[in-house]
Amino acid sequence: MTHERLVKKAQKGNDKAFLTLFQQYEADIYRMAYVYVKNKDDALDLVQEVAYQSFKNIGTLKQPEYFKTWLMKITMNCALGLINRNKKVIPLHSDFDMHMGADDEDIALTISLNNVMDILKEDEKSVILLKYYDDRTLKEISEILDIPLGTAKSVLYRALDKLRQTIKEVGIYG
């Protein structure tokens, strides 16, 4: 069955069609959420929230071919909402939390990448993630974020410049 037919069935209330569609992109949603929230538990919570929001609002999707784009936009909105809510919470042991869950990973590299991404504003982070993590074109990024193509380009280049400068200062990259 084609992707568009599954979306149309899901929009008519077919739970199995929605589940089939959502499962195709669940790993992508998790990865995107994880990059924003930086921990496994919050990322898993976000996947559930995206599932709920997308199931509840699938009727609002006007173009079935943009289902994945629509899911990624919901993921970013949910992640940014969680980040904003968590800004009001003061962590007791932030260094301890950062090391949790990094069993098999290179801890120093993980910390460095997280710190480097933290220098970016939310719009810059979104553009970088969509471009290099989700492999989107600038045109797709402008549509997902609902910004002009020129703005997407300038945000991308500004973010890349910030990352280059920070990496040079920190000495991560030659």
What are the residue boundaries of the structural domains of the chain, listed by start?
1-89, 93-174
Q: Picking from 56-60, 78-82, 114-118, which range would have the lowest pLDDT averaged per residue?
A: 114-118
**Residue 97 confidence class, pLDDT cut points 50, 70, 90:** very low
pLDDT at 108: 53
**Percentage of the chain modeled with pLDDT above 90:** 34
**Cβ atoms within 10 Å, residue 57:** 11
- Residue 93 confidence (pLDDT): 47
**143 CB-near residues (< 8 Å, 6+ apart):** 66, 69
The answer on pLDDT for 174 being more than 50 is no
Report whether 119 contacts 112 (CB < 8 A): no
State residue 121's pLDDT score. Answer: 86
Question: Token pair for residue 44?
Answer: 């898993």
Which of the two residues, 88 and 100, has the higher pLDDT score? 88
Fold of the domain built from segment(s) 1-89? Rna Polymerase Sigma Factor; Chain: A (1.10.1740)
Question: Is the fold of 1-89 the same as that of 93-174?
Answer: no
User: Rounded mean pLDDT of 101-120?
Assistant: 59
CA-based nearest residue to 142, from 158, 123, 159: 123
The angle, 0 to 180 degrees and rounded to 10, between the axes of the packed helices 15-37 and 40-57 is 140
Reported CATH class of domain 93-174: mainly alpha
Torsion sign over Cα 28, 29, 33, 34:
negative
What is the separation, in whole angstroms, between the first and last Cα of the chain? 49
**pLDDT class of 123 with cuts at 50, 70, 90:** confident
Is the Cα torsion angle 167, 171, 172, 174 positive or negative in sign?
A: positive
CB 58 within 8 A of CB 11: yes
User: Is the predicted pLDDT of residue 157 greater than 70, yes or no?
Assistant: yes
**In this model, does residue 102 exceed pLDDT 60?**
no
Q: Which residue has the higher pLDDT, 133 or 4?
A: 4
